[in-house]
Amino acid sequence: MPIQPFSMTLSVVPTALYWARLLLNGAIPFLMHLGVFKALGFLSLVFSLIGLVGWLNLAQAQNVSPVQNDTAQSSTLISSSSLASTPSPSGSALVPIKFQVNWHHQFQFAGFYAALSQGYYQQAGLDVQIQTWKPGLDVNQEVVSGRTDFGVGYGSLVVEYAKGAPISLVMASFQFSPMVLLSHEPIYDLSQLSGKRIMHYGNLQIQTLIHKANAVGSTPIKNIPASGNLNDFISKKVDLYGAYSTNEPYRLTQKGVPFYIVDPKSYGAQSYDDFVIVSQQMATLQPHVVKAFKDASIKGWQYALAHPEELVEHIAQNYPVDKSKEALLAEAKATLQYVQSGQIPIGTVDPDKLMGIAADAKDIGLITPAQFKSLDMSAFIFDDNRGVFTPEELAYLAAHPVIKLGNDVDWAPFEFTDSNGLFSGMSADYFKLFEQMLGIKFEPVVDKTWGEVTQMAKEGLVDVYSCAVATPDRQTYMQFTQPYLSFPMALAGNESMPFIGNYKQLEDYTIAVVKDYWSHELLKRSYPNVTLLEVQNVRQGLEAVLDGRAAGFLDNLAVINYAQRQYGLDGIRIIGQFEERFELSIGVQAQDKVLFSILQKALDRVTEEQRQVIFNRWVKLEVINKISNQQLMQVLAPAMLIIMGLLLLIGVYAYQKRQQKAYIAKIHELSYATEIDLRTQKIIWTSHAFVKLSEYSAEELTDMPYVNLSSDTLLNEHIQSIYQQVIQGKTWQGDVEGKTKSGSLYWVNLTLTPKKNWRGEFTRCLATRVNITDKKRVEQLSITDELTGLYNRRYYNEVIEHELRRAKREGRTLGMAVLDIDLFKLVNDTYGHQHGDVVLQNVASVLSSSFHRANDFVFRMGGEEFLVLTSFDSKATYKTHLREVLKRVEALAIANKNSPFKVLTLSIGALYATVNESMDSEEMFKQADKMLYLAKEQGRNQLMMV
């Protein structure tokens, strides 16, 4: 049974204490202003209340602040050492490299063949063998298992990475995918795919298209694994066949087989293709080899694109190719547009575009929202500048495939042995990352107490401590990395125990500690007068508190709370927290300098996202603020002490306020904070972090009108609405686009918190921010059609319901128009798909400029169909505007010789209605679509409206 992450809860301070604290907050600054003697007189009247609150503050000083992650061929191997004639420049032995392609040999892989034949790989010190593909072969598994070093795969490799596959993306051969579906009949609507048999290789574009089709079809599509045999389509064993537009269409045309193309890009499914991947282990340990392979492959593609005829001849002579030279030449001609896209360098991959691909994968259920949220595409893409480990360190790893861990078997959530006997916990998760990164195994202890483990470490029987504090004793035989986990020392006690502020207070009690833990070593060394009860594990320590053998148990705050929840130990609470923290590091035997360097580098390479995932998996800490009524009574008596004692409390309070301000200052630095004068709406203070974000200096920001920091998209009405809310004492929160000094735009989640002056007036406002620029970019990618820049159908599904609700609420009209390019398929068939893409972009431009108001939305619904949501004061005005759109598209004078108009035209079906409670989005679309059908029936280039 898995152990759940623990959570520390927030308890409520009694109402009386709340008001007492308010009084204290106002009284003490006043008393300090009066001076000591006048203050004494005042204090003599209110000393009881002041004493109460002062002691309360002493208790709360111990509170814990929030913790801040076609036919199968034989396995032919073509080697660069056999084809290349240029020797290795260094004269040293070539590094053997296996490279797995993901389809039959053809021009699709011309760049790699060219790098081989031209000697680019050999010049880079590589002996590359290209391995022939066979049906059923999984490139990802081939790379992860080490059976091949590099592999070519589809965009679905993004899904494998999101699921945890230890792979690294080297390059993308194709800047956008040539993957299409071949059909025996024309497909005008995705609902026509209902119940069809589709043979494909799991390409993400095809899966996305199938998901969209299943959503509108009545019968699920049947997915059939790719055989690689085009005859399965020709013989009609399948209804549709996954193919590259650069390859199979030409072959079918030559055979005289009729076919139709269904292009996923027409339905918003777009991706890179022919990803080249390598294992994370190889990317980490041999980055120079990975970079050499990448650079040589890009040179190969540059050569192949410049010499297609030569490469076709070479492929035909050296590889088992089941196609003619003419077919290869046709493929070469079609491939150019996919490899070289505008000025984008060959092989380029963009993290934002990868996130867009991942968003599609999330939408169709291939990855979970949690997996998507934790994705770091920058970490997925191979860094050309890598060179982490020295030759000595690489040799060490090769010679030491197994490293023995010195770990604790019962110290959850950091590390423990679970019910299946497996090494688990936060530390275990880190070492799993190290195993993937370094290609070695860490062998944990599974049946020893921590005391026995420490003795083994002293005797050199374990290589490293997996998770330990660098105590003076341990530093005599171990060297420690930088800490990778940090939690406070805490004391657990029963309900009757008062708060403990320092270790000296423990001398009157028996305190339980786990033998040889840092807490044990600390008390034994520095506080010998404390009576210690040595126990073997955390549970025994907590049980000793419950049965009265010990007054408290000293250990890590996270461990105490986790164990309390795991074992259901009621009646225990945190009664003290100390300055010392468990700064947990990796310990390495003192004499093993090389292993120490390796593990520190490995630790440094763990990304912040990976750290956060591990932290969130095991820990959820919130503020602890517990004080019982019994304790409240206990502090009343000291509150009756002499006035001089109360003056001391003023000093304590002042110290606490300084500490609180320092803590708040740290929080403000983390949250890009500014303070605003609500009367002038100007900035009066700013954090260093926001100075860096905004690119202004602190001096420039001071007295700057706050609205100067926002982008032009923030309307004045919106600004005034926010201002009115804040001056009324209400907190406002929302996403806002900001602008830096240089004009760059960024997004933050902004919180505006009003603050009172001493008269209770809201005169200032604290603005804190969370930078969500990357999130907004990913959101924009997920709702935008890549070809036209318009909103996509996914976003329409979100917007339509929101607009309907708003129209119903406000009692206003709503206009919907469905627009379709007339005879667009004939445009593609006559002038080519590239020309068709340009046509779509031109029409999109007309629509964007025609509907550009804040309440206008323009969507590309798929293929040549568009949809507009808008609002007009009258039906006549709306109708006139749509007719103007028809004229503007016709005025583009884009040739369409198959049209009766000889130029490109639109047909529009429109609806104009006052939205009522019974109207829904599906009914609106049906009515507008019916009008579109009538417009086409009337001869096209028409507008029909209901």
pLDDT over 60 at 730, yes or no: yes
Q: Does 923 participate in catalysis according to the annotation?
A: no
Average pLDDT over residues 800-806: 85
Up-side HSE of residue 314: CA atoms within 13 Å toward CB?
22
Average pLDDT over residues 673-692: 88
Looking at beta carbons, which pairs linking 776-782 to residues 24 or more positions away fall under 8 Å? 776/735, 776/747, 777/352, 777/355, 778/352, 778/355, 778/356, 778/359, 781/352, 781/353, 781/355, 781/356, 781/359, 782/356, 782/359, 782/360, 782/363
Average pLDDT over residues 54-72: 38
Residue whose structure tokens are 């079609």: 334
pLDDT over 50 at 687, yes or no: yes
Q: What pLDDT sits at residue 26?
A: 43
Nearest to 646, CA basis, from 39, 60, 62? 39
Sign of CA dihedral 275, 279, 280, 286: negative
> What are the φ and ψ backbone dihedral angles of 7, each rounded to 5 degrees?
-140, 135
Name the least confident of 96-105, 538-547, 769-778, 833-842: 769-778
308 falls in which pLDDT band (50, 70, 90)?
very high
Residue whose structure tokens are 């002691």: 55
Q: What pLDDT sits at residue 880?
A: 93
pLDDT over 80 at 658, yes or no: no
150 falls in which pLDDT band (50, 70, 90)?
very high
Q: What pLDDT sits at residue 669?
A: 53
Average pLDDT over residues 127-135: 93
Q: What pLDDT sits at residue 643?
A: 63
878 falls in which pLDDT band (50, 70, 90)?
very high
Name the least confident of 439-448, 593-602, 708-717, 759-768: 708-717
Name the least confident of 136-140, 497-501, 511-515, 673-677: 497-501
pLDDT over 70 at 857, yes or no: yes
Are the C-beta atoms of 556 and 364 separated by less than 8 Å? Answer: no
Q: What pLDDT sits at residue 679?
A: 87
Tokens of 106: 């053809």
| DSSP letter, residue 452 | H
Q: What does pLDDT average to over the chain?
A: 82
Are the C-beta atoms of 247 and 180 separated by less than 8 Å? Answer: no
Average pLDDT over residues 620-644: 49
pLDDT over 60 at 563, yes or no: yes
pLDDT over 50 at 623, yes or no: no
Q: What pLDDT sits at residue 80?
A: 60
**Distance between CA atoms of residues 170 and 290, nearest Å:** 8
576 falls in which pLDDT band (50, 70, 90)?
confident
29 falls in which pLDDT band (50, 70, 90)?
very low
Are the C-beta atoms of 806 and 921 separated by less than 8 Å? Answer: no
**Distance between CA atoms of residues 233 and 240, nearest Å:** 7
Instruction: List the catalytic residue out of 864, 865, 884, 923.
Output: 864
Name the least confident of 5-9, 185-189, 886-890: 5-9
Instruction: Reduce the DSSP state of residue 665 to 3 states and report it.
Output: helix
Instruction: Reduce the DSSP state of residue 9 to 3 states and report it.
Output: coil
Average pLDDT over residues 270-286: 88
Q: What pLDDT sits at residue 352?
A: 81
Average pLDDT over residues 252-281: 86
Name the least confident of 57-66, 809-818, 855-864, 869-878: 57-66
Looking at beta carbons, which pairs linking 757-763 to residues 24 or more positions away fall under 8 Å? 758/26, 762/678, 762/726, 762/727, 762/728, 762/729, 763/677, 763/678, 763/679
pLDDT over 80 at 486, yes or no: yes
Q: What is the C-alpha radius of gyration for the chain, rounded to an integer number of angstroms?
A: 35
Average pLDDT over residues 131-153: 92
Residue whose structure tokens are 């969370």: 770
Please write the tens of the pLDDT for every residue from 360-417.
888 888 899 889 888 888 889 998 656 678 888 888 988 999 999 999 998 888 899 9
Q: What pLDDT sits at residue 655?
A: 57
Instruction: Reduce the DSSP state of residue 612 to 3 states and report it.
Output: helix
> What are the φ and ψ backbone dihedral angles of 591, each rounded to 5 degrees?
-80, -10
Q: What pLDDT sits at residue 559?
A: 86
Where does residue 617 rank: exposed (0-12), middle (13-18), buried (19+ CB within 10 A)?
A: middle
**Distance between CA atoms of residues 537 and 542, nearest Å:** 9
Name the least confident of 176-180, 639-643, 897-901: 639-643
Average pLDDT over residues 154-182: 90
Bridging pattern class, strands 552-556 and 485-494: antiparallel
Bond from prior residue into 391 cis (ω within 30 degrees of 0):
no
Neighbours of 321 (CB within 10 A): 18
742 falls in which pLDDT band (50, 70, 90)?
confident
